[in-house]
Structures are given as structure tokens and as C-alpha cells.
Amino acid sequence: MELKKINDYTWEIPKEGMMRVPAIIYASEKLLDTVKKDQTLQQAKNVACLPGIQRYSYVMPDGHQGYGFPIGGVAAFDLDEGIISPGGVGYDINCGVRLLRTNYREKEIIAKRRELLAEIFKEVPAGVGKGGITKLSRNVLLEILVKGAEWAVENGYGTKEDLMLTEENGRMKDADPSYLSSRALERGIPQLGTLGSGNHFLEIQKVEKIYNREIAKVFGIDEEGQILVMIHCGSRGLGHQVATDFIELMENKIGHKGLPDRELINAPIKSPLGQQYYKSMCAAVNYAFANRQMIAHWVRDVFAKVLGSSVGMRQIYDVCHNVAKIEKHKIDGKEKLVCIHRKGATRSFGPGRPEIPEIYRPYGQPVIIPGSMGTASYILVGTKEAEELSFSSTAHGAGRVMSRNEALRRFRGEQIRDQLLAKGIELQSTSLKGVAEEASAAYKDVDEVVRTSHEVGIGRLVAKVVPVGVMKG
Amino acid sequence: MMIKKRALKNPPFQYLDHPADAKFQAFGETFEEAFAHAALAVVSLMWEPEKIIKRQRRTVLVQGKDLEQLLFKFLSEILYLYEAKGFLLASARDLKIIKHENGYSLEAVLEGDNLSSNYTIFGEVKAITYHDMIIRKNDEVLIQVVVDM
């Protein structure tokens, strides 16, 4: 496969065969070496073959092999000619990250971090939801699917300010839960307000380094040593079932003939089925927003209980990592609405975009990039250039390089727990096997990923944070 | 393994390396046996099926327009039963796959137990995918599946 170097961080796969547009990969030489070893590049080419794709099929700096779309894949589709693909959003619809600031400094919590973590572990369920919530009626669930985090705030979880500081204000207005199967609803009820396991986690972090003090200050990050809380989870079984259901519906109605990968099954955006998927996906997005809203509320409660106060625990932002959105972008010099698929990518709107909260609008949107378990995470800011470069998108994490299988062969959970502890990081987990699977050595170097984002200009560095306590579901 | 050991050339199932998710191959003398082994491969990513007491029985019936869709729906059903009903699969038996004019149907008896604190859950399979899916019959049946984790 031909790979043309555009500059030190940009590579192009020229149009060939069935590709409707070229593909662009943002990677340093080092990242590119790992990308070449799996199917990422082929998957980027496959996406470039889909009807109505605009400009390029993009791969973000953390790109790696997925199923159908690569993880880190970004593609925009024309609303008349284009498609929408459940595989291009992913099963974990609105898997995302919420970040809270605190007024606490490391020295104020360090003696109590074990207690904090133990309480969080008690208050925030990993698998099945808390008693009471798990007995939600179907009608309440339907309301949550329409209102998202708004429902949570109306019911005492958090504040209206949280909503303003959430992508889409915590509610995608196009949601219509009437297209969800009863199986999706049944999977959603017992899991509301749960973290999930796998790569999902909740971290108590401290600010290690600030790269841009002015913007950090606007985001609520004052100085090194300040404590933050990061929540990484998604729409749980409800979202997984929505994707599974619509893949089947699209297969039965449209079929997968001619697709380079059956997982790329799709429907025209304008078709009834395309619209039903989009509206159902929005409902699953809302479920995930409500989920993170509830978890954030419990975290504040724990801080108040253990440390005496949760004053100043303002939300910095909440971003989606797996989503399709209708956004306005400039294409061939003309502004137009397109359907952007971000499959393991973060929106990174620059200054001035009306979609971002007013307090951030002069600066750009906070971009939250979690590292792997126990490693650094980063806060970046969206850029104006990203509109031209990546439809306002950047990386979403470290990106795996090693299979879970190999991680299990190489690492033991106990050993990783002890190593983290030696670095001053407390760990609470439901399973040590899960800890071994998520070993940070199974991931790319997140430092290299964010450096690449910064150099390309699709998301610029603001601050680096490191964990002091990790809850892994 | 609870599965009857026969003179298969391969183990009932084995995991392959996949950077992001989990990939496995399951084998059987028949499609039915390979499908049952595939079910074990999926749940073995979340719990140890040989440790689940066979206290509950559920009959499932799924239909697919081809064998791939049949497998996708059968394995998705197991995830649904776990998350919505708290059912932990120990084994799938009495599988019957029938070819119809417009596709296939599968009937199976699932044995297992209800989720409780007696059992350790160590992973989460989010969904079954079609990516790199293979169902092939030569001298024995080979199934390959990538699941989203």
C-alpha cells in the first residue's frame, strides 16, 4: 500500500480502487510503526469507500485496529448522499470522559486517599446498579433517554452548571427512544449509574504539569498538585444493544453486499432506517450522559463525607468518544452540514464555535484524553485549525498495542497493583485479571499521542495529570 | 472444560491476538458443536463457565438469514441474558441448527446459574462483531469471532 509522507506527522494513502477519497493518518514515525503492524491502514481505506464521504478518511494519532472503522477513525458524510453506520460509532455509544476539578491539593488528601477510594468503590457500582435505581420503571428510563443528564440534574444528581459544561449540554435533542428494542431497555435498567469494566475507570488525579497557564486557569486548573477526578464510562449494555439491533436491521433491509467488511454495514442517513438509528443512538448518548452525571454526583458526596467538603468541585467538561453528530463544517470553501462519525476520537472545537460553553468560547473546547490505567492523562484545547485538518477532532486515549491475551500472558494483576503502589498510586478493582488486561504496557505511549496532536495542531496541550488513586471496574 | 472431550484436532476454542478486542476460534465436528464452543469462548472472557453451577435452564431460539447472522444473534443472546436477566452460562447443549428456505434457525438449551456474589466476574464483553468472522467446514467446523471489549 502506498503511504505518502506529507510532513513529519501527516501521512496520506492516495485514492485507489474503490476509495472515494484519500485517507490521512496523523502519526509520528514512532506511532506509524505500530499502526503499520495491524489492520488500521486497511480499515482507514475501507472507510474511504463508503458513499458520501467528504474530504478524507482520517485516523487520529492514537489510531489502532478496530472492527469495521479503525479506532481513532473520523469520517464526515454528506447528508443527501451519505450514510450512517452503527459500526462507525461503535458499540459503546458515547463512551466518554468527565473531568471534575477540586479545591484540594495533593497534600490535603494524600493521607485519606485510600479511604476516598474505598468509599468511591462502595458508592459507584461497577457492574449492576444500586438498589432502588435498578428498579427503575420503563417510563422513567424512557424519560432518561430523552433528557439525558438533564433528567439526572432534575432528580438531584448535580447542578445545572454541570449541564452547561457537558458536550451537547448533556442531552442530544434528536433522541427518540421509541425505536429502541425492549432488549435494549432491559439491559439499560439494571446498569444505570454504573461504571462498567474493561477499559473504564474512575481516577483521583493530581495536576503534574501545566503547559498553558492562561487556558488552564479558564478550565479551572490553577496549579501543580491540584486534585481532579476523571470518570471514564459509556452507555453500558443499552448502547451495545442499540448497535447490535441496528446492525441486524440494516443487514436485513439493505444487506452487506459489496462492503469490504461486514461490520461497515450502514444505511443512507436520509432513509427511515438511517434516521431511526440516528435517533436511537442519540437516546443511548443521553443514557451515557445521565450515567456520568450520577457517578459525578456520588463522587462529590464521597469527597464531602471523607474530606468535609465538596465545594469547588466544578465540572471542567464532559466529552463523547464514540458518536455520530450533525455538524457544520467548511468543505470546498462552502459551509455545510455533515454527519461526522467519531469512533474513538474527541471533538476538538476551536475558539468561537457556538456549540461550546460560553466561558470557554474565546479559547476553545477542553479535550480530555485519558491515558491507560495508572498512567498520565492530558487536558488539551481544541483549535481553529482542526476544522480544516480533522473536522475538529483529535485523539481519545492511548490506544492499545497489545492484545488482552498477550497482556494476560505477560502480567499478573497483583504485580501491577504493587508496582502502582510503589509509584504512589492506590488501586481498587473488582478483578485482578482485569487489571492485568489493562496493564499500561499494553497501550501506546499516551505522551507520544498527545505530542503528535499538539504538533499537528488538532488539539494543543494544556495540562498533564497523573493518578493518585484508581478505581477499575 | 465441561465439554465432552472428543478426538478433535483442536481444543474446543482458543484465543488469538487482537490489539483492541478479543478474537477467538472455536472448533467442532458439527456446526452445532462449534457454536456451543463459541458460546463458551465468549463467556470465558467474563467468568469461568466450569465454575458455574447448572441450576437454571433456558431454551433459546434464534434465526438468521445466513450462518454468520445466526452466530452473531446466538452469541448476542448470551450477552443479553447475562446483562438483562443475570444469567451466567455454564454450557450450551442440545443445539439444533436447521436450514430453511430463507436462512437458518437455531435452538439450544442453556444451562447455568443466576448472578450472585458467589461468582467472580472478571471481564466485560460489550458486543459480538462481524469483523473477521469466519465460519468454515472442512473436515471439521472452524468459527472465528472478534468481540468488542
Separation between Cα atoms, residue A391 and residue A363, nearest integer Å: 18
Q: What is the pLDDT of residues A204-240, one digit of tens each?
A: 999 999 999 999 999 999 999 999 999 999 999 999 9
Separation between Cα atoms, residue A291 and residue A236, nearest integer Å: 9
Separation between Cα atoms, residue A319 and residue A347, nearest integer Å: 8
Higher local confidence (pLDDT), A444 or B58: B58
Asked if A263 lies within 8 A of B131 by C-beta distance, the reply is: yes
What is the pLDDT at residue A401?
Answer: 76
**H or E stretch covering B136:** strand B134-137
- B70 Cβ under 8 Å from any chain A Cβ: no
**Beta strands A334-343 and A226-233, pairing class:** unpaired
What is the pLDDT at residue A197?
Answer: 80
**Residue B49 grid cell:** 463457565
Asked if B129 lies within 8 A of A198 by C-beta distance, the reply is: no
- Percentage of chain B with pLDDT > 90? 81
Query: How many structural domains are present in chain A?
Result: 1
- A405 Cβ under 8 Å from any chain B Cβ: yes
What is the pLDDT at residue A129?
Answer: 63
Nearest CA in chain A to B74: A244
Contact A380, A209 (CB under 8 A): no
Containing domain of residue A359, as a range? Answer: 4-85+94-401+443-472
Separation between Cα atoms, residue B111 and residue B90, nearest integer Å: 6
C-alpha pair distances (Å), A175 with each of A149, B86, B138? 13, 28, 47
Q: What is the pLDDT of residues A312-338, one digit of tens each?
A: 999 999 999 999 999 999 999 999 999
Asked if B16 lies within 8 A of A262 by C-beta distance, the reply is: no
Asked if B84 lies within 8 A of A190 by C-beta distance, the reply is: yes
Examine the pLDDT at B98 and tell me if it is beyond 90: yes
Residue B8 — very low, low, confident or very high, per pLDDT cuts 50/70/90? low
C-alpha pair distances (Å), A338 with each of A44, A45, A84, A328? 19, 20, 11, 6
Containing domain of residue B47, as a range? Answer: 13-148
Query: Nearest C-alpha of chain B: how many angstroms from A252?
Result: 8
Mutate: best of B18, B62, B125, partner A, most A CBs <10 A: B18
Asked if B22 lies within 8 A of A67 by C-beta distance, the reply is: no
Longest alpha-carbon distance in chain A: 63
Which residues on A lie below 8 Å from B133 (Cβ)? 262
What is the pLDDT at residue B122?
Answer: 85
Separation between Cα atoms, residue A164 and residue A408, nearest integer Å: 41
DSSP label at A349?
Answer: B
Read off the CATH number of the domain in which A354 is found: 3.90.1860.10
Asked if A183 lies within 8 A of B121 by C-beta distance, the reply is: no
C-alpha pair distances (Å), B88 with each of A184, A286, A433, B79, B91? 19, 29, 18, 9, 9
Examine the pLDDT at A359 and tell me if it is beyond 50: yes
- Could you tell me what percentage of chain B is helix, strand and coil, using 3-state DSSP and rounding each to the nearest 5? 25, 40, 35
Contact B126, A473 (CB under 8 A): no
Query: Nearest C-alpha of chain B: how many angstroms from A411?
Result: 15
- A321 Cβ under 8 Å from any chain B Cβ: no
The terminus-to-terminus CA distance of chain B in angstroms comes to 23
- Percentage of chain A with pLDDT > 90? 80
**Residue A123 grid cell:** 458508592
Q: DSSP characters for A182-220?
A: HHHHHHHGGGTT---STT-EEEEEEEEEES-HHHHHHHT
What is the number of CB-based contacts under 8 A between chain A and chain B? 117
What is the pLDDT at residue A130?
Answer: 64
Contact B46, B148 (CB under 8 A): no
Query: Nearest C-alpha of chain B: how many angstroms from A39?
Result: 10
- A252 Cβ under 8 Å from any chain B Cβ: yes
Q: What is the pLDDT of residues B23-80, one digit of tens each?
A: 999 999 999 999 999 999 999 999 999 999 999 999 999 999 999 999 999 999 999 9
What is the pLDDT at residue A269?
Answer: 97
Q: What is the pLDDT of residues A370-417, one digit of tens each?
A: 988 778 999 999 999 999 999 999 999 887 778 788 888 888 889 889
Residue A40 — very low, low, confident or very high, per pLDDT cuts 50/70/90? very high
**Amino acid making up residue A168:** E
Q: What is the pLDDT of residues A166-210, one digit of tens each?
A: 999 999 999 999 999 999 999 999 899 999 887 789 999 999 999
Q: What is the pLDDT of residues A286-299, one digit of tens each?
A: 999 999 999 999 99
Query: Nearest C-alpha of chain A: how many angstroms from B15?
Result: 7
What is the pLDDT at residue A273?
Answer: 98
- A262 Cβ under 8 Å from any chain B Cβ: yes
Asked if A191 lies within 8 A of B123 by C-beta distance, the reply is: no
**Residue A141 grid cell:** 428510563
C-alpha pair distances (Å), A296 with each of A96, A202, A463? 13, 10, 21
**Residue B144 grid cell:** 472465528
Read off the CATH number of the domain in which B32 is found: 3.55.10.10
Separation between Cα atoms, residue A246 and residue A35, nearest integer Å: 30
Examine the pLDDT at A441 and tell me if it is beyond 60: yes
- A400 Cβ under 8 Å from any chain B Cβ: yes
**H or E stretch covering A109:** helix A106-109
**H or E stretch covering A267:** strand A267-268
- A92 Cβ under 8 Å from any chain B Cβ: yes
What is the pLDDT at residue B111?
Answer: 98
Asked if A237 lies within 8 A of B120 by C-beta distance, the reply is: no
How long, in residues, is chain B?
A: 149
- B15 Cβ under 8 Å from any chain A Cβ: yes
| Complex-level ipTM | 0.89
Residue A431 — very low, low, confident or very high, per pLDDT cuts 50/70/90? confident
What is the pLDDT at residue A409?
Answer: 83
Asked if B83 lies within 8 A of A191 by C-beta distance, the reply is: yes
Q: Which residues of B104-131 are buried (b: 16+ CB within 10 A; e: fewer)?
A: bebebebbbbebeeeeebbbbbbbbbbb
Separation between Cα atoms, residue A268 and residue A264, nearest integer Å: 13
CB contact set of B106 (below 8 Å; sequence gap of 6+) = B35, B60, B61, B62, B63, B64, B70, B74, B95, B96, B97, B98
A329 annotated active-site: no
Residue B121 — very low, low, confident or very high, per pLDDT cuts 50/70/90? confident
Which residues on B lie below 8 Å from A402 (Cβ)? 19
Query: Nearest C-alpha of chain B: how many angstroms from A120?
Result: 19
Higher local confidence (pLDDT), A388 or A132: A388
Nearest CA in chain B to A265: B130
Examine the pLDDT at A127 and tell me if it is beyond 70: yes
Query: How many structural domains are present in chain B?
Result: 1
Check the CA dihedral B83-A137-A199-B22 and report its sign.
positive
Contact A210, A221 (CB under 8 A): yes
**Bridge partners of B135?**
B143
With respect to residue A19, please indicate whether it lies within any of the assigned structural domains.
yes
Separation between Cα atoms, residue B79 and residue A16, nearest integer Å: 39
Backbone angles phi, psi at B129, to 5 degrees: -125, 165
Contact B148, B130 (CB under 8 A): no
Separation between Cα atoms, residue B4 and residue B14, nearest integer Å: 16
Separation between Cα atoms, residue A407 and residue A439, nearest integer Å: 7
- Percentage of chain A with pLDDT > 70? 99
Contact A416, A376 (CB under 8 A): no
Q: What is the mean pLDDT of residues A244-269?
A: 94
Separation between Cα atoms, residue B49 and residue A37, nearest integer Å: 34
What is the pLDDT at residue B2?
Answer: 47
With respect to residue A395, please indicate whether it lies within any of the assigned structural domains.
yes
Which residues on B lie below 8 Å from A71 (Cβ)? 20
What is the pLDDT at residue B1?
Answer: 44
